[in-house]
Amino acid sequence: MSKIIGITGGIASGKSTVAEQIRQAGYQVIDADQVVHELQKKGGSLYQALILAFGTEILAADGELDRPKLAQLIFSSKENQEKSAKLQDRIIREELAGRRDALAAKEPIFFMDIPLLLELDYQDWFDEIWLVYVDEDKQLERLMKRNHYSLDEAAKRLAAQMPLQNKKKFAQVIIDNNGSPKETLQQLGLQLKHLADG
């Protein structure tokens, strides 16, 4: 039996950095965002489904999805958020399940990096959940800096996700990313050592 670990966090919590370090330590990591990008590419199953749902105005001049435009449309109303979530969730879940099963056949331990792991109810897929945690004010600050958002835009994005504080109770391992990158790496190193020692 494979041990499958879910990594989650929130927008601008540093989860991608942690996932990258886990990869460098030699583990396989299925990146849900990467999978979504592949499915949203021209001709992909999500690409087709999104055009059917929202029309061709979500396309850029080259025929690819215009991500900022799509995001704006989705975030513009509760109805659009629900429509998009339902549609994307089904297609993404099927794809992720296929990749999970393929890795489970050959890897003793692997990770899946799923930003909305708890919101979309993936908990029962995992033996353990690792949360990359950061305080909300720090999360806002990093998000504004990274995406050049106004405070209002950043707060809106955060409000669309479950607060990290609420995610703590679901996690078996919490990587605190409030400090320096070095401190985060030290914590991660310890957890990976525990994992290897089994």
For the chain, what percent of residues have pLDDT higher than 90?
A: 81
Please tell me the distance from the alpha carbon of residue 150 to that of residue 156, in angstroms, as a whole number: 10
12-65 pLDDT tens trace: 999 999 999 999 999 999 999 999 999 999 999 999 999 999 999 999 999 999
Structural domains in the chain, CATH included, are: 1-28+109-198 (3.40.50.300), 34-106 (no CATH)
Contact indicator for 97, 89 with CB cutoff of 8 Å: no
pLDDT at 160: 82
Contact indicator for 3, 108 with CB cutoff of 8 Å: yes
For 41-76, b where at least 16 C-beta lie within 10 A, e where not — what string? Answer: eeebebbebbeeebeeebbeeeeebeeeebeebbee
pLDDT at 42: 93
pLDDT at 196: 87
> What pTM was computed for the model?
0.86
Mean pLDDT (the chain, rounded): 93
Please tell me the distance from the alpha carbon of residue 105 to that of residue 10, in angstroms, as a whole number: 30
Binding residues for ATP: 12-17
77-129 pLDDT tens trace: 889 989 998 888 899 999 999 999 999 999 999 999 998 899 889 999 999 99
149-172 pLDDT tens trace: 999 999 988 888 899 999 999 999
Pairing of strands 109-113, 173-176: unpaired
Biggest alpha carbon–alpha carbon distance for the chain: 53
Binding residues: 12-17
pLDDT at 157: 87
Please tell me the distance from the alpha carbon of residue 11 to that of residue 179, in angstroms, as a whole number: 17
pLDDT at 165: 93
